[in-house]
Amino acid sequence: MTSPQRFDLIVLGAGPAGGRAALTAAAAGLSVILIDEQSAAGGQVWRKPWAEPAPARADGREGEGLRAALDSSDVTLAYGRRVWSVTEGFRVDSLGPEGSMSCVADHLIVATGAHERVIPFPGWTMPGVMGLAAATVLLKAEGRLPGKRVVVAGRGPLMAQVAAGILAKGGRVVAVVDRMPLTGWLKALPALATQPPLLAQGAGWMGRVLASRTPWIFNHHVAEARGTERVGEVTVASASGDCHVLSCDALVIGDGLVPGSEVPRLLAARMRFDRLRGGWIPDLTADFETSVPQLFCVGDGAGIRGALQAGTSGELAALAVARKLGRKTEPDQGARLRGAFARASRFSDAVAAMLSGRTADVARIGPDTIVCRCEDVRRSEIDAATAEGMHDINQIKHVTRCGMGPCQGRMCGDTVQELVSLGSRRSREEVGAWTGRPPLRPVPLGELVGSFDYGDIPVPEPAPL
């Protein structure tokens, strides 16, 4: 095995936060490697579209700008690599098309983004049911429709974006099923109006959906999805129980975002539960440094704030690293970035509030509903374990196998913790989070070990008898 490559800074995740961090650090003269699982930079929000020419949408142009800047920078770009281990010091091990790679650096910026929260309901495991973020990947990065007749459901602005995207590609949106009442949107309007271009973009999506005469059903949730090998119909219900059945061949649903904070947890950074920011996030300084010195967390992985603040947080963290290494930075750059970050707060907080988890949504899950998709664990099993006195999330994991499957608890974690909190009448802080353990992602053992010959292993001669 070759010795690890050394850099001044390793950046994990090439979305708006990680991409801007890497560019800022490289501009200050640091040696930087940027690692991402996808084959191009942009993260999920600025994901590379499948076809050129340059897309007309603003998020497409921003993504192209970031990719072009990175391509012409001194940043070492390591795309298509899956990070499976991060240890103190910092050492990052990843696996890519050319095999395994190790790199080390005294500074690490983690920009691993968020994953989607989908609150379980009967049939959410059915093929044809997928996340809202999944639908944006299909529409933007692959130029594909999730189905021919699609129900869009959940909460937040992503529903409008996805529904408008489906219509633009010639698909049919059966209905938008919104957990929020209309008043929820109206209350958020003043805060959203602080970013006129983004409000206009959102209003454009919504206008397109309403102009198509697609029903937008407020204050309703998906109660059940049914089908044999693919979803064929869904029942939607209001909190008071009135139901409609909608026929469809796809259901795209998302109930907000959860920060992907596995790396700071793995490195034992001090964490706290923050409902507005989507869940467990690291305690951070004004420079986005965690309680582990030289470990920084930026973007949605450090708490849901959206792309607007993600890039700024990445730049601020990179400037702090540059200063620690004694590099000269523009004196007013930090103040300018902090100003931009503060101005974006009202908008970002309003969107984060729409995307945060609601206890009432989780309380409504039925006892027979599968909560952990990987291990097919039902709510009743989690409730039974809680009733027996298991009030720590890791005890629940050992007894029920929730969180032990290949997704490593990313899909069900927030829901299981909320259920245990409800059942035990303890706070989310007391219930805790899964213990972070490598590998961070499933990796084939054979590829980690590499190819070797038993004859090459230096086995010492046996000691004489």
Partner 1 sequence: MQDADISIEILLDGQPIRVGARGSVAGALLEAGVAWLRSSPRTHGPRGAFCFMGVCQECVILIDGRLQQACLVTPRAGMTIERGGAP
| List of residues contacting partner 1 (CB under 8 A) | 37-38, 44, 50-52, 82, 115-116, 125-131, 133-135, 137-138, 141-146, 228-230, 370, 373-376, 405-407, 410-411, 441-442, 444
At closest approach, how far in Å is the CB of 138 from partner 1?
Answer: 6
> Are the C-beta atoms of residues 328 and 318 closer than 8 Å to each other?
no
AA identity, residue 421: S
DSSP string, 93-131: EEEETTEEEEEEEEEEEE---EEE-----TTTTSTTEEE
At closest approach, how far in Å is the CB of 410 from partner 1?
Answer: 5
d(CA 73, CA 63): 15
At closest approach, how far in Å is the CB of 74 from partner 1?
Answer: 25
Q: How many CA atoms, within 13 angstroms, populate the side-chain half-sphere of residue 41? A: 31
In the structure encoding, which two tokens stand for residue 33, read together? 């490697």
d(CA 308, CA 63): 13
d(CA 235, CA 217): 12
CA 324, 328, 332, 334 torsion: positive or negative?
A: negative
At closest approach, how far in Å is the CB of 24 from partner 1?
Answer: 26
Strands 271-274 and 295-297: unpaired
d(CA 179, CA 153): 8
Of all residues in the chain, what percent are helix, strand and coil, respectively (each to 5)? 35, 25, 40
Query: Which class for 445: exposed (0-12), middle (13-18), buried (19 or more C-beta within 10 A)?
Result: exposed
User: Residue 236's CB: how many other CB atoms inside 10 A?
Assistant: 19
Strands ordered across the beta sheet of 243-247: 220-227, 231-238, 243-247
At closest approach, how far in Å is the CB of 431 from partner 1?
Answer: 22
Residues with Cβ within 8 Å of residue 385, at least 6 apart in sequence: 395, 396, 399, 400
d(CA 312, CA 440): 27
